[in-house]
Structure 1
Amino acid sequence: MKIQSVTKELSLKRSVDSGTDEQRIVVQHIIQTVQSQGDDALRTYTKQFDGAELESLQVTQEEIDEAYSEFPEQMIKVIKEARDNIFTFHQKQLRETWTYTDSNGSVLGQKMTPLDSAGVYVPGGTAAYPSSVLMNVMPAKVAGVERIVMVSPPGPDGRLPAGVLVAAEIAGVQEIYKVGGAQAIAALAYGTESIKPVDKITGPGNIYVALAKREVFGDVDIDMIAGPSEIAVLADESARPAEIAADLLSQAEHDTRASSVLVTPSRTLAEETAAEVEKQLAGLPREAIARQAIDSYGAIYVTKNMKEAVGVINQLAPEHLEVMTENAMDIVEDIRHAGAIFVGRFSSEPIGDYFAGPNHVLPTNGTARFSSPLNVDDFMKKSSLIMYSEQAFRENAEKVAAFARLEGLEAHARAVEIRKENDQ
């Protein structure tokens, strides 16, 4: 890994893959075709892109039972425990409707209402992601969303991975469809004969899924357009180079564009970690991917002191941040920008990915400066409550009418004044 001193401008930002003109045209065509042809279009695209011919798009209980029968019992227990951890954490985020009565007798407040429905996209292909199921479904469950729909591309055999089906059943998903890609996003947004539309779509996917989410945003809500994975480790001489290297590689193996960064005031730690990264790269099953990510987007920054190191972290605003220092919690107080903060040597990033409870759907590409992890609020709406008292109305009607006329909105002013006139 490259070891370098800090410069004035640092960033983990990489150009977000907004797709080519050709890809955008393909996605737009797919969406339009699904809107006009419904289930027929979904079957056609599933055969074209996934090699699967489907009679029924919806997963049956028989398929779920079969997945259970072939899935390791121990992993079923692990997934259930992870679900419970995620549910417990997100339950603490739940906010209730609130009101207060002003001194003039007016009742003001905020009404919290869960979305009616949400769609969860779970990637397919060569890998299965049960953790994505749990992280997207459980906050919606806690929020009180009544209808949660999961879509995922099938394999050529027309089946979804056993782990994904088991996780969906454990999470309480009642509608599961074997469809992926841009066509799945279109179905969730606009509906087909089999799939009723939803109000919000969450979950990661390839470039076609990302472009489709961009296209349908506004007709439905989406969670985010996520960029490549990122990890930054803030460490001092008390940290262990082998453990830092392992954590840096845990993200590098995701994607050739993943970013792995160490920030430290210790040059010795920097050099030892760089050597460990090289040592541990050898023999990784995804060595080629991880090596390209490390070579292209990996870095070790050596700072003058810990204060400067914290400043670098806030400048980077990483998706995942590990703080591996003495008095780590004291340092956390100065961290302003990070999607998730892992404190201490036993809080390795994969602990958060799978099991601890906080959500692993996190802001990337510097957006941790202004956005948050997927959470219960993402599946709820807030409505303002205004029940103005007669006393308040009489005290403030003329002020409201004056404000309306200041903006040239006479009808607004009259809507207030007519109530005063009718009471005279």
Structure 2
Amino acid sequence: MTQDMKVFENLESVVRSYVRSFPTIFTKAKGYKMWDENGKEYIDFFAGAGALNYGHNDQKMKEKLVEYIMSDGITHSLDMASTAKAEFLNKFNDVILKPRNLDYKIMFPGPTGTNTVESALKLARKVTGRTDVISFTNGFHGMTIGSLSVTGNSMKRKGAGIPLQNTVTMPYDNYVDNHDTLEYVERFLEDSGSGVAIPAAMIVETVQGEGGINAARFEWLRKLESICKRWGILLIIDDVQAGVGRTGTFFSFERAGIKPDIICMSKSLSGYGLPFAVTLIRPDLDIWTPGEHNGTFRGNNHAFITAAASLDYWKDDTFEKEVQAKSEMIYQFLTKMVETYPELKGEVRGRGFMVGIASEVDGLSNKISAKAFELGLIMETAGPKDEVFKLFPPLTISEEGLKKGFEIIEESIKSLVKEPVTN
């Protein structure tokens, strides 16, 4: 450990995490690249765990933000009206909601993903008068008590220090091989002796990020929506990580053709890595009493500025088509790795730019990620046993950047397994 790194060991809590995986001091970032204090260049296939879908320091967003700051634009305003908020609201409605035939009230619950989930759970219980919420195996929804109660990871749940109640966990799509998991869910709802009360809501990620890059089939999502409608259960889609283009469309559920009752968004919504979250609410469900759910930092005007600028990427379908084309490149590369290196015992998972390889070999994915970092690529792992090394490049990355990243990943794999299979 260098002398400069010791400050983090000496002064920062041991709870720190990513600095252990990426043990260097970063000083600069642009697009899909980062540099450390020694001048070493890294390709970023991490993208702030999905908070930097447009890369680092997007030029247009930066210019808009600097201009706003230099003109003494409002920084902090709680939920008071500001020109920055008005611009975001109008643009999000015009560019994102209306073209997709979606009608939602927009709530600013606080700056983080767990804030939007907490507000969604609270509102679902208020609307229905019911207490329980159904979540799904390997789901991750945040680290505060309500969000943690619908999160599957046992280590994270243990950190709560108290019983996590009023939730029921059901099996996610393909959790049990060759079994329709929603038949299981329906059986519990239909059976008055099951011990499962009709819940206020079901909360689900269409692609589970931290849980192992598990992608629910579109037909599974459609059936889930129909079950919710049948029983009067609110459907909450957690699009905190999978949204904002990460899976190939702005909302991750678009190609499933469903319309959730409540949508949770954060991470890349600001476009610039600034803390920002929204909860999208079906208008008839917006029954809050003024101030019933509030917070000091629910009016991040700097994020309004960059978020509004980021929506220019979505004014037509050009960017979306580019993302989908590059997604195919990524998928083909991962498929090739699984076929070329059978020692991986790998399975390609995910959708769009939210993909990875799950390896059955204990600890191998962590080793591949660590080796990639040595070679100049930032990539993390996911899953209950960190069995998946996942690719989360910025959506704006060039084909050249992707190919450079692919080369480092393959070199990392090759250094840790036997010789590749050749024809």
TM-score by length of 2: 0.27
Structure whose CA Rg is larger: 1
TM-score by length of 1: 0.27
Q: Which has the larger helix fraction?
A: 1
